[in-house]
Amino acid sequence: MSAQPQLGIDIGSTSIKLVELAPLGKNTFKLLAAASMPSPVGGVNKNLTNLGPLVAAVARLIKESGARSRRVVAALPEEQISSHIVEMPVLTDAEVEQALQWQVEQYIPIPQDQAIWSHKVISRNNTGGVEVLLVAAAKNLVEAYRHVFEQAGLEVLALETELMATARAEVKLDSPLTVVVDIGSSSTDLGVVRGGELIFARTIPTAGEAFTRSIESSLGLDTAQAQQYLHTYGLSPTQLDGKILEAVKPILSVITGEIKKTIDFYISKHAGENVKQIILSGGIATLGDIVGAISSQLNLETIVGDPFVAVRMDEAQKKALIGTGPFYAVAVGLAEREI
């Protein structure tokens, strides 16, 4: 692993998060910088024809954060990624890659000449065959991300998915089979993680904005008020007479229903394996009482992820970042990636 510090930058639809880490040893890091700022609405995907404001925002965030490294690992938005588990007969790694060259268009919704794809063997059975995680993104999206960072004066070391980064930051290598649930502003990303590695991923278009809209409608509030109420009272059954919880219950039920579908689908393909825990991430994971609300519906141990578990911080940094772990999970995981 390189001993040089590196940046993890996560450009979301509503905010840009930056984390700079320096390796201290095996799976241990020192925090050098962490900062965030609003992003041009829609992130990269909705600004492909005008990336100037994003370049300026990234450059400004780097300057304001005090980060010195110019080496960056960045995340592509999960909802723009095509992930697919491909089942193959017993093949060597070289044979898997060769076979995919001819078969990739069967599994991705993007013409092969317009896509950039990679793969990882996630399980191998000498009698049953090979499972391969295939990940693809549109070339123009990848090129847009590279353009933003290079124009902001950075060297792009790698681009990967948000869930890969979150899994690295929040799931220990010896953890049981885990489902990571990253609830962002416009989408919720669901990933099955085994042995610290992401092995299955999907995205649903229900997330924080839906919580806000439901509160607006139920309580007759404007958007700003609804967001304030949500983050002040959380999902408590007693705060504000439980009105926030009641307002968002339909949205929460959609999310927990999709978590259950994800678990059931995975288990149907892997007899004998059982999901043991849910790890919550993303800004919505910081809401009061959300752990209880989700665990009670799924009857599974549910915790809020801590991406800073392997990161050493001084007291001032700890104080400044208290309660923000889920918000920075993707950026931390990116900065931790071994290059």
- State which amino acid sits at residue 161: T
Q: What is the CATH number of domain 1-80+136-171+309-339?
A: 3.30.420.40
> What pLDDT score was predicted for residue 117?
92
User: Residue 253's Cα: distance from chain center in Å?
Assistant: 21
- CB of 17 closer than 8 Å to CB of 36: yes
Euclidean distance between the first and final Cα of the chain, in Å? 6
Q: Render pLDDT for 233-272 as a digit per residue (tens, 0 to 9).
A: 999 999 999 999 999 999 999 999 999 999 999 999 888 8
Q: Which residues contact 258 (CB under 8 A, 6 or more apart)?
A: 188, 190, 204, 206
CATH 3.30.420.40 residue ranges in the chain? 1-80+136-171+309-339, 173-305
Q: What is the CATH number of domain 82-135?
A: 3.30.1490
> What pLDDT score was predicted for residue 41?
74
Mark the ranges of the chain whose per-residue pLDDT is less than 50. none
CATH 3.30.1490 residue ranges in the chain? 82-135
> What pLDDT score was predicted for residue 126?
66
* Rounded CA separation 304/225 (Å): 25
> What pLDDT score was predicted for residue 21?
98
Q: What is the CATH number of domain 173-305?
A: 3.30.420.40
Give just the sign of the alpha carbon dihedral 306, 203, 157, 155.
negative
